[in-house]
Structure 1
Amino acid sequence: MLDARGILFSFSGYLSEGILYSLGDTLRQKMTLDDTDVTTIKKVFSVFIEQAQNIIRYSAEKVLGTVGKNVELSSGMVIIGTENGKFFIVCANTILEEDVPRLRQRLELLQKMDKDEIKAYYKEQLREAPEEKSRGATIGLIEIARRASEPIEFDFERIESDKFFFCLKVSI
């Protein structure tokens, strides 16, 4: 059924940097075996990594503990497939309500920009200090929008009083 719907890759569960490395390697190998051109593989891989890192850094569902070392696992899902001759990458995870307004604002801004505006915005943001509460360089979403062939799609759905299910779709 997944093949019939164009799904090449699907992961749902707890992610860590180690799992991300293994999944990324598997994705790259699968796309190479399917004779996907190198430029498309790089774009899909890059967007996949950015989206998975966002899950790892910002998911509201985490498991913390110690197994010989400190461990942090973040829950989310990533689906990669083809649709209408293009690849798509969908990621989803739970986020805190307090994070929704800022994230929605950033995504709506990127959604309205054309390629040249995104490129200029990217260069501008590289010169800025990282946002407060950011666990990255704050340019991940811009990186995703730069590689997308269409405006990014997203949705937020309340699932608890203080949590939302966040979904982001990128076409390449």
Structure 2
Amino acid sequence: MINNESIIESKAIYEFYKNMQKENVMLLYQGDVNQSLLNAILSITEGKLDTNENGSAKKRVLNIMVECVQNIYKHYEHLEQNIKNDYSSILMLALNEDKYIISTGNVIFNDKVELIKNKLDNVNSLDKEGLKSLYMEIMKNGKISEKGGAGLGLIDIARKSGEKIEYHFSKISETYSYYILVIKIKKK
């Protein structure tokens, strides 16, 4: 016989399942982020993408997934273990009628919020040609940071998605905020 607690858990799991079906969630990951995870997520994503999907959309989704996981990892690796335990990173891929939607969430230091927000606002203010010019300018003159980037990740995401990047920051303490990105990629 199932006890009341198990019934409640079963109902919660079923409700979660129904919500994932309704939102057409293809992939959902919550937890630690590392290189092995990146390889596994890309493999799973490639298998989940519509086999009839045109190569261009599939490639753009995979490339943006790589950028997103690398972005999460860049911030994740410097966190204290108790923060990693309390605030997991999340990565989700969903599909609506004409777009793939990649959503990420991860903890960042509060002193990075304004810098990231400014970069996102700048990227979102540019059209296709402006993004290309900024990308080329950074490639030509940019300095590679100790984390291996020159700030190209967000520009690359915007260029490949062809859409504005949605974002939100939620302050969780005096030191940390939870950083959410939503990227939409047209199928065609």
TM-score range, shorter chain: 0.7 to 0.9
- In percent, how many aligned pairs have the same letter? 22
Partner residue of 1:20 out of 38, 44, 65: 38
What is the distance in 2 between the residues matched to 1:22 and 1:96? 27
Partner residue of 1:7 out of 22, 25, 33: 25
State the TM-score, normalized to the length of structure 2: 0.79
Runs of 4+ in 1 over 2 A off after TM superposition: 59-63, 128-138
Q: Which residue of 2 aligns with 1:158?
A: 171
What is the distance in 1 between the residues matched to 2:182 and 2:144? 23
Q: Which residue of 2 aligns with 1:167?
A: 180
Q: Which has the higher mean CA deviation after the structures are superposed, 78-87 or 38-47?
A: 78-87
| Contact 1:115–1:146 (Cα < 8 Å) also in 2 | yes
Residues 109-147 of structure 1: per-residue CA shift (max 9 Å, x gap):
011111111111111111123365544242111110101
Task: Give the superposed CA RMSD.
Answer: 1.8
Partner residue of 2:119 out of 106, 113, 116: 106
Within-5 A mapping of 1:138-153: 138-153=151-166
User: In the alignment, residue 46 of structure 1 is paired with which amino acid?
Assistant: N
Q: Which has the higher mean CA deviation after the structures are superposed, 97-106 or 52-61?
A: 52-61
Q: Which has the higher mean CA deviation after the structures are superposed, 102-111 or 131-140?
A: 131-140
Partner residue of 1:87 out of 100, 105, 109: 100
* 1:54, distance to aligned residue in structure 2 (A): 0.7
Q: Which residue of 2 aligns with 1:68?
A: none
Q: Which residue of 1 aligns with 2:109?
A: 96
Bigger CA radius of gyration: 2
Gaps of 5+ in 2: 1-17, 82-86
| Contact 2:99–2:184 (Cα < 8 Å) also in 1 | yes
Specify the SS of the correspondent of 2:164: coil
* 1:15, distance to aligned residue in structure 2 (A): 1.1
What is the distance in 1 between the residues matched to 2:126 and 2:142? 22
Number of aligned residue pairs: give it.
161
What is the distance in 2 between the residues matched to 1:128 and 1:91? 29
State the TM-score, normalized to the length of structure 1: 0.86
User: In the alignment, residue 102 of structure 2 is paired with which amino acid?
Assistant: I
